[in-house]
Chain A
Amino acid sequence: MRYEAPESVEKACQLLADDVGHARILAGGTDLLVQIKTDVLDPSLLIDIKKIQELREINTGSGGFRIGAAVTGAELKEHDGLRAAWPGIVEAANLIGSTQVQGRATLGGNLCNGSPAADSVPALIAAGAKVVIAGPNGRRELPVEDIMVGVRKLALTKGELIVSFIVPPRPKQGGDAYLRFIPRTEMDIAVVGCGVSLQLDADGTCTFARLALGAVAERPLLVGDAAKALIGSKLDAKAVDVAAAAASAACRPIDDKRGTKAFRIKVAAVLARRTIQIALDRAHGKTGTTH
């Protein structure tokens, strides 16, 4: 196994493009190293991206954020601006693993590990975040929801890597939230995850909504019908019920060791209702965290 630690995005792309075996990107290593240790993966080349400055930074500008792919959950938590604007994203990233893991695990890694249960992904999708991808032919952007196409399958082509996430400015009277269901209180993997982002107008009518689910399909899902049910409503119980039902209807889960199909479908609606409520409270300016 070869190890490289390039200092530029271009060099990293070059290494990826030139590799004839199974190269893997190493960021925090909290998924990759475990998979190597348990014989799930046997990469020929590890490309450590932690020395690439651009990937380690959170930049603010015009109200939005550009978050480097190798920024850790703990670093997100320490960024006051991001925490105030997108608490759902920050909280989601900080549900991953233990405190120690959160000091290593990165936003890019959580997405590129390709797990449908990745906690930060539904929160990023709900926020309408985009991904900047660098490759041999330059850079391109994709919405977060278009990156994961199946379990461990990404929409990246040979030589491409994720450079950063572009998160829009927090809308006025907007709020986001992420909740997951796990059998314990922490140190677990989502059985269902739900991210919601909302915006209200002056009289409290919902003008913008996105709802995304994790762990209920082969990839995280953006549930358009749930958003439709919310937009234009005052987020009354009836509208929320319709959105929750849409969340359940969107699920196409499997029975596995973490939960049954029936359980995931039901709990998706429960989490949708609860997550919408927190996002709504935040849109109304109520502060406080969910965890």
Chain B
Amino acid sequence: MQDKAKSPMSSEFSVVGTRPVRPDGVDKVTGRARFGADLNLSGQLTGAVLRSPHVHARVLKIDVSQALALEGVKAVVTQKDFAPQVNSTTAFGEGTLNLMHMLTNVLAGDKVLFHGHPIAAVAATNAAVAKRALKLIKVDYEVLPHVIDVDEAMALGAPLLFPDMITEGVKPAPTTPSNIAKRIDIVLGDVEAGFKVADVIIERSFKTAPVHQGYIEPHACVATVSEDGQAELWVSTQGHWIVRMLCAKLLGWDINKIKVTAAEIGGGFGGKTVVYLEPLALLLSQKSRRPVKMVMSREDVIRATGPTSGSSMTVKIGATNDGRIVAGEALLKYQAGALPGSPVGPGCMCAFAPYDLPNVKVTGYDVVSNRPKVAAYRAPGAPISEYAVEAVVDELAATLKMDPIEFRLKNVAKQGTKAAYGPKFGPVGMAESLEAAKASAHWRTPLGKNQGRGVAAGFWFNIGGETTVSLVLNEDGTLGLTAGTPDIGGLRASLCMMASEELKVPLEKIRVQIGDTNQLGYNFLTGGSRSTFSSGMATVEAARDIKKEAVRRAAKLWELPEEAVEWDSGSGSVRPAGPNAGKHTPMTLVDIARIAGKTGGPIVGYSRLNAHGAAPSFACHIADVEVDPETGKASIVRYTAIQDAGRAIHPSYVEGQYQGGVAQGIGWALNEEYIYGTDGKLQNAGFLDYRIPVASDLPMLDTIIIEVPNPTHPYGVRGVGETCIIPPLAAISNAMSMATGVRFAELPMSPPKVLAALDKARAANTAKM
């Protein structure tokens, strides 16, 4: 993995496209890296959360007096200790933000909305005392009827989570409350007219289960607040500026009072973009005047932090006999969990995005029920809707007796395609990905017994956003790079490589860190596949800033006008230009660093920007799946992920993203689900029965990187982290259909469900004969 071989498409680069060792690698493999739970402060208390034993109940009274009286208990907080919040929703990154809902998710108010909903928190001298204190908090509940399933939650007469919830997005506004928080409509062309000219129309209904991000590191933080209100927070998060903002708003503190440091992070996948423990730890520390550490158990993580939505969907697609899709329609009902805010919006926008279609209609519903509130999960919402669409596209291709790749190519989104959700695409790599799939050795390899091969396309927007990077030229010419987006998937390596490419400074001369919130201007979080794109763009700008300054300093030294000095990108040095060429010895950054003091002082490159022009990434995946006809167990026997990276700065980490997305997609397709009893309580809040794939479940996940450069990024980068989780769901389902002759329409395709479907089909066949 460390060969210096470059991909042929990035031959104009010397560093970009190579595979150096990551700067954070040694610390991670030796255990030296400090994650969320690794910090301990002198005098530190243990924080613990009291969680609701009920699925849905009114909170009549909370009495904390006995807990407070217990020796060793230093503070107790309930929702009353927080600043009051307004019920108002605003756009926020890849989703929306409603501070009243967020507060309710951190600590319940007059109602508990799901089993495990936090209701109070304590800080005590150790975990055993904290646990005893939780038992001494007396809560009077009035238990209410609950609803778990999305279709049941939408039905008339369902128990209401919020008696005042009127569906947004419906005109005229409904007069009666429901569990439907919002309706979304996306329309392009006229689907009715489209279906009229279709020769074949296929309509199918699908269900998917909610799935958790499954990050291995549970939520963890340490907070310390001084007597004058200066707070420090150490936390495992995807965005420490976001944590700072959310905590400040929930607590009613000024932002400058809180300094947040992002710990090394053991996975997030979108789930660490909101706050759970952090405001509690800050408040407990403020009250106790002691540092407070809080760490979730795995059970808490699964029971009470955001999975992504489960869904109920219907998709209808029509095509002409020559293989042209003429209309696509989808109805998407997404579970939001206990509070509004499912990713049904992006689900609607992405559903048909891989295709150039004249007529599209998508209707989405955001539905609350008594489950944990969902959080972002890798391409939030998109895997769900695109799974349903890709399953119908596959069936349509089969019905038309067309090759599934050819059928997709015939309808492929390309430069100039107007997406149903609005924009026209620039250069995109969907067709290139499909062509590469068709040309791959995998596509041509014969299948074994009980095996099937499926393909599926995927699309994700990617985002940019606010970013700040600083690049310090040290006295000896080495560099210190500070970025503000936590490194989850190889960011530090990629940023160093871009700075090295731009300045022609060897990689080992650049030291990179993720700065805390006091060290840089605002940074939006690592999410939306934005960190290599946005912080990369800012790093290149900061490096160019250094170059400009180097030119200025040399000009000063040489007593030449600035225009008479230039940066020579071949040698990475400044030299006199034009008529003065050759009059002075060119100066490298080492030389410039040496004269920095007498030519104006320290040299710091800086970039603060709102990164625009994030370009979408498209993918096509091929899955070979073997289904045991006697047990219904599916095994992935071969897998190839093909995706457009724009440009792969560090190909190993691009491949790592593809493989990680596929692994999570395989879990989603085959075994992961939240299993509820009739009592509304989650039965599988642990990794034993919440089945993410283990290493031996997966074959080597092959990857093919397509590079259709993003013209708005200096090096052509597109985000790559999210698209890769989208195609596996349908690719595997389509492969299993081919292997068994049965179309599956529900995730996960766990063995009992698959065996029942196979037995049903076999019984039907026997009856026919």
Q: Hey, which bits of chain A sit against chain B, CB under 8 A?
A: 38, 181, 183-189, 191, 256-260, 262-263, 266-267, 270
Q: 10 smallest A-B Cβ distances: which pairs?
A: A263-B752, A185-B696, A270-B630, A257-B675, A257-B683, A260-B752, A185-B697, A187-B694, A183-B671, A257-B684
Q: Is B183 an interface residue (CB 8 A)?
A: no
Contact yes or no, B694 A185, CB < 8 A:
yes
Report the minimum CB–CB distance from B134 to chain A (whole Å): 11
A-B contact pairs, 13 of them (CB 8 A): A181-B631, A181-B751, A183-B691, A183-B751, A184-B671, A184-B694, A186-B694, A257-B683, A260-B752, A263-B752, A263-B755, A266-B755, A266-B759
In this assembly, does B29 line the interface, its C-beta being within 8 Å of a C-beta of chain A?
no
> Judging by beta carbons under 8 Å apart, are A270 and B631 in contact?
yes
Which residues of A have CB within 8 Å of B689?
A: 189, 257-258
User: Cβ of B756 and Cβ of A262 under 8 Å apart?
Assistant: yes
Within 8 A of A (CB), among B739-769: 750-752, 755-756, 759
Quote the shortest CB–CB distance from B200 to chain A (angstroms): 35
Hey, which chain A residues are within 8 Å of B299, CB to CB? 38
Q: Do B752 and A259 touch across chains, with their CB atoms under 8 A apart?
A: yes
A260 to B631, CA, bound (A): 12
Distance of A184 Cα from B299 Cα, bound (Å): 21
Contact A183 B688 (CB under 8 A): no
Once bound together, how far apart are the Cα atoms of A186 and B756, in whole Å? 23
**Other CB < 8 Å A-B pairs besides A183-B751, A184-B696, A267-B755, 16 of them?**
A38-B299, A181-B633, A181-B751, A183-B633, A183-B671, A184-B671, A186-B696, A187-B694, A188-B691, A191-B751, A258-B689, A259-B751, A262-B752, A263-B752, A263-B756, A267-B631
**Residues 659-702 of chain B: 1 if any A CB is under 8 Å from the residue's CB, otherwise 0?**
00000000000110001000000011000110101101100000
Nearest B residue to A260 via CB reads B752
In the complex the two chains form, what is the Cα distance from A143 to B684 in whole Å? 34
Query: Given the interface contacts A257-B683, A257-B689, A258-B689, does A184 sit within 8 Å of B752 by beta carbon?
Result: no
Interface centre among A256, A260, A267 (most CB of B within 10 A): A267
CA distance A262 to B757 in the complex (A): 12
CA distance A187 to B691 in the complex (A): 10
A258 to B683, CA, bound (A): 10
The CA-CA distance from A183 to B693 in the complex, in Å, is: 10
Fill in one digit per residue for B524-556: 1 if any A CB lies within 8 Å of its CB, else 0.
Answer: 000000000000000000000000000000000
Contact between B631 and A184 (Cβ–Cβ < 8 Å)? Answer: no
Chain A neighbourhood of B632, CB < 8 A: 263
Question: Bound state CA distance, A266 and B759, in angstroms?
Answer: 11
* CA of A189 to CA of B696, assembled, Å: 16
Quick one: CB contact mask for B187-218 with A, threshold 8 Å, 1 for yes?
Answer: 00000000000000000000000000000000
Partner of A184, one of B630, B675, B693, B756: B693
Main DSSP-derived SS at the A contact region: loop
Interface residues of B (CB under 8 A from A): 299, 630-633, 670-671, 675, 683-684, 688-689, 691, 693-694, 696-697, 750-752, 755-756, 759
- A189–chain B nearest beta-carbon distance, Å: 7
Contacts of B696 in A (CB 8 A): 184-186
Known: A38-B299, A270-B630. A263 touches B683 (CB 8 A): no
- A216 to B144 Cα, complex, angstroms: 36
Interchain CA distance A207-B559 in the complex, whole Å: 104
| A11 and B756 alpha carbons, distance in the complex (Å) | 53
Q: Within 8 Å CB of A260, what residues of B?
A: 752, 756
- Enumerate chain A residues within 8 angstroms of B683, measured Cβ to Cβ: 256-257
Bound-state CA distance A189–B752 (Å) is 15
CA A258 to CA B752, docked complex, whole Å: 9
Contacts of A186 in B (CB 8 A): 694, 696
Contact indicator A183/B750 (Cβ below 8 Å): yes
- Chain B residues with CB under 8 Å of A256's CB are 683
Which B residues are CB-close (under 8 A) to A267? Answer: 630-631, 755
Bound-state CA distance A267–B756 (Å) is: 12
A263 proximity list for chain B (CB < 8 A)? 632, 751-752, 755-756
| Chain B positions within 8 Å of A188 at CB level | 688, 691
- A251, chain B: closest CB distance, angstroms: 14
Query: Given the complex of chains A and B, what is the CA–CA distance between A263 and B751 in angstroms?
Result: 8
Who on chain A is nearest to B630 by CB?
A270
Give the chain B neighbours of A262 by CB distance below 8 A: 752, 756
The CA of A219 and the CA of B691, in the complex, are separated in Å by 25
Cα separation A183 to B755 with both chains bound (whole Å): 12
Known: A270-B630, A270-B631. A184 touches B751 (CB 8 A): no
C-alpha spacing A186/B671, complex, angstroms? 14
A267 vs B631: C-alpha distance in the bound complex, in angstroms?
Answer: 6
Instruction: List chain B residues, Cβ under 8 A from A191.
Output: 751
Query: When chains A and B are docked, how far (Å) is the Cα of A191 from the Cα of B633?
Result: 12
Which residues of chain A are within 8 angstroms of B631 by Cβ–Cβ distance?
181, 267, 270
Please report the C-alpha to C-alpha distance between residue A240 and residue B347 in the assembled complex, in whole angstroms: 51
A186 to B675, CA, bound (A): 21
Measured CB to CB, the closest approach of chain A to B631, in angstroms, equals 6
In the assembled complex, the CB of A245 is this many whole angstroms from the nearest CB of chain B, namely 14
Kindly report which residue of chain B lies nearest to residue A39, judged by CB atoms.
B131
Instruction: Give bound CA distance, A259 to B691, whole Å.
Output: 13
With the chains together, A181 CA to B689 CA distance in Å? 14
CA distance A259 to B631 in the complex (A): 11
Instruction: Please name all residues of chain A whose beta carbon is closer than 8 Å to the beta carbon of B751 when the two chains form the complex.
Output: 181, 183, 191, 259, 263
Contact A184 B697 (CB under 8 A): yes
Chain A residues, Cβ within 8 Å of B688: 188-189
Give the residue name and chain of the B residue nearest to A261 (CB): B752
With both beta carbons as reference points, the residue of chain A lying nearest to B676 in the complex is identified as: A257
Contacts of A181 in B (CB 8 A): 631, 633, 751
Tell me, in angstroms, the Cα distance from A181 to B630 when the chains sit together: 11
CA distance in complex: A188, B670 (Å)? 15
Which of A191, A257, A260, A262 has the most B CB atoms < 10 Å from its CB? A257
Query: How far does the Cβ of A258 sit from chain B's closest Cβ, in whole Å?
Result: 7
Contacts of A270 in B (CB 8 A): 630-631
Q: Which residues of A contact B750 (CB under 8 A)?
A: 183
- B304 smallest CB distance to A (angstroms): 16
C-alpha gap A185/B697 in the complex (Å): 6
In the complex, what residue of chain A is closest to B690 when comparing beta carbons?
Answer: A257
Question: When chains A and B are docked, how far (Å) is the Cα of A183 from the Cα of B748?
Answer: 11
Residues of A within 8 A of B693 (CB): 184
When distances are taken between beta carbons in the complex, the residues of chain A under 8 Å from B756 are: 260, 262-263
Q: How far is the CA of A181 from the CA of B633 in the complex (A)?
A: 9
Which residues of chain A come closer than 8 Å to B759, judged between CB atoms?
266
Q: How far is the CA of A260 from the CA of B755 in the complex (A)?
A: 11
Closest A residue by C-beta to B752: A263
Which residue of chain A is the closest to B629 with respect to CB atoms? A270
Cα–Cα distance between A266 and B684 once the two chains are bound (Å): 24
State in angstroms the CA–CA spacing of A257 and B685 once bound together. 11
Report the minimal beta-carbon distance from B627 to chain A, rounded to whole angstroms.
13
In whole angstroms, what is the CA distance A266 to B756 when docked? 10
Query: How many angstroms from the CA of A256 to the CA of B676 in the assembled complex?
Result: 10
Nearest neighbor of A266 in chain B, beta-carbon distance: B755
In the assembled complex, how far is the CB of residue A13 from the closest CB belonging to chain B, in whole angstroms?
Answer: 31
Interface core residue of A183, A188, A256 (most chain B CB under 10 Å):
A183
A266 surroundings in chain B (CB, below 8 A): 755, 759
B642 to chain A minimum Cβ distance, whole angstroms, is: 26
In the complex, what distance in Å separates the CA atom of A12 from the CA atom of B694?
A: 39
Measured CB to CB, the closest approach of chain A to B392, in angstroms, equals 27
Least CB distance, A247 to chain B, in whole angstroms:
13
Kindly state the separation between the CA atoms of A256 and B688 in the bound complex, as whole angstroms: 14
A258 to B684, CA, bound (A): 9
CB contacts (< 8 Å) of A185 on chain B: these are 694, 696-697
Min CB distance, B216 to chain A, in Å? Answer: 14
B residues less than 8 Å from A259 (CB atoms): 751-752
Q: Which residues of B have CB within 8 Å of A184?
A: 671, 691, 693-694, 696-697
Q: Of all chain A residues, which has the CB nearest B682?
A: A257
- Counting chain A CB atoms within 10 Å of each CB, which of B631, B633, B693, B697 scores highest? B631
Assembled-state Cα–Cα distance A256/B752 (Å): 11
Distance between Cα atoms of A267 and B688 in the complex (Å): 21
Tell me the complex Cα distance, A184–B697, Å.
6
Give the distance to chain A from B624, nearest Cβ to Cβ, in Å.
17
